[in-house]
Structure 1
Amino acid sequence: MAPEERREQILDAALDVIVEHGVGRVTVDGLAKAIGVTRPVIHSQFTDSDHILRAVLEREEARALAQLTDVFGTASQTSAPENIAEMIKAYLGAVLAEPKRWRAILLPAGYPPAFRKRLQRGQELITDIFEQRARASMPQDTDVEMLAKALLALVLDAGRIALEEPDDFPPERIASFTATMAARVLGHDQQV
């Protein structure tokens, strides 16, 4: 196997372990066993389990941010309830397209401080995007910081719900609810 393919295989196995058993269960021995290789094969790519964890975090963070950039970059700039609902639906589509990645991000258990800090930085980037959008589309007197924080909470919880209860809360249901609530908050009289 080519070195880059081996590296991806190891990172994929590490992500599986994180999602199924938590960060603390990622070990060189465990990963070697999971993919059917010896420790030296793992060590040809990574120095230790911390190196593997940093690499999987960096990879998944970059991929998640790319997904979010696609979702939020193509969403309409207006704050109409339908546009907000479409943005949520597109985001949930991204979450459900890569459930392992988003389980690791949205359902972290037992993550060490460095990992939590990394996740927090990603959330701050999303909040900044929401603030920029709100400044461009909301009335002048809108508390855009509070709105951005509320939208972040909505996005994170919507992703968790979609992952944990997909049959009861499909993206369409969450998006419809979001549009209804946005219409009420924004004072739109039309039915959504």
Structure 2
Amino acid sequence: MVTTSTKRERAAHLGPERRRPAVLDAAQAIAVRDGLGAVTIAAVAGSMAVTRPVIYSCYPDRVTLLDALLERESQSLLAATLDALHSASGDDPEQTFVDGYRALLHAVAARPEAWRLVFDARPDPEVARLVADARRRIVDASTRWIAPALERWWQTEDLERKLPALIELFVSSCEAAIRIVINPATDWSADDLAALYGQMMAAAYRTA
């Protein structure tokens, strides 16, 4: 019979580099279930059935652990959002918006816990900082994608003046759609919600 102490001894032999992803996964599971405040070195060690020194060998303190977790998740979410923007292209404005929202919302549906961690914990200062940084990069990427599209599709007048408001509308709509998808009580599928938001956004931009 393998005892818990034996398991813990062997777990430490994996080494910090190989163990860090598993530590972050365990911390994420605790944060999603109980909130970021519940993520402690002891809690993560307990969930992994290892001793606290094993966790300390990966991350020297709780703050460093949380920073690594939030950085990993925010970068993953940013990459998914940028991929959605890059995948949206075509000559049909409404279909292009639908395709972009669909790509984004399928990424959300594939990893709802990660998105819920960031969006549900925004009052935490560290989360807010990382989300704000990711949001700025999304705004920049959206501007590079949307500005020429508006000129091509609708020859939008006074575009330079209107663009900041139009970009804010688009990014805010993405955040709203994400919150709907990660809400456990929602009955919207990613495809249906993408169609709704794509149609609304195309109509709003057409009239701008």
The TM-score with structure 2 as length reference comes to 0.82
Secondary structure, in 3 states, of the residue corresponding to 1:44? helix
CA distance in 2, matches of 1:92, 1:12: 22
Q: Indicate the larger mover: 169-178 or 86-95.
A: 169-178
Any runs of at least 4 consecutive aligned residues in structure 1 with deviations exceeding 3 A, and if so which? none
CA distance in 2, matches of 1:76, 1:87: 8
What's the counterpart of residue 21 of structure 1? 34
What's the counterpart of residue 171 of structure 1? 190
What's the counterpart of residue 101 of structure 1? 114
Of residues 101, 115, 120, the one that matches 2:132 is 120
Amino acid at match of 2:54: V
What's the counterpart of residue 98 of structure 2? 85
Secondary structure, in 3 states, of the residue corresponding to 1:31? helix
CA distance in 2, matches of 1:79, 1:182: 13
Q: What is the count of residue pairs matched by the alignment?
A: 187
CA contact (8 A) 1:77 1:133 kept: no
CA distance in 2, matches of 1:109, 1:187: 33
What's the counterpart of residue 43 of structure 1? 56
Of residues 176, 199, 204, the one that matches 1:157 is 176
What's the counterpart of residue 9 of structure 1? 22
CA distance in 2, matches of 1:12, 1:154: 29
- Structure 1, unmatched stretches of 5+, are none
CA distance in 1, matches of 2:202, 2:86: 22
CA distance in 2, matches of 1:167, 1:101: 17
Change (3 A) 1:118 1:77: farther
What's the counterpart of residue 68 of structure 2? 55
CA contact (8 A) 2:102 2:191 kept: yes
CA contact (8 A) 1:32 1:39 kept: yes
| Superposition deviation, residue 187 in structure 1 | 4.0
1:69-103 CA-to-partner distances (Å, cap 9, x unmatched) read: 32212221667011101100110011111112111
| Superposition deviation, residue 175 in structure 1 | 1.5
Q: Tell me how large the CA RMSD over aligned residues is.
A: 2.0
Is the counterpart of residue 67 in structure 1 residue 62 in structure 2? no
CA contact (8 A) 2:70 2:118 kept: no
Larger radius of gyration: 2
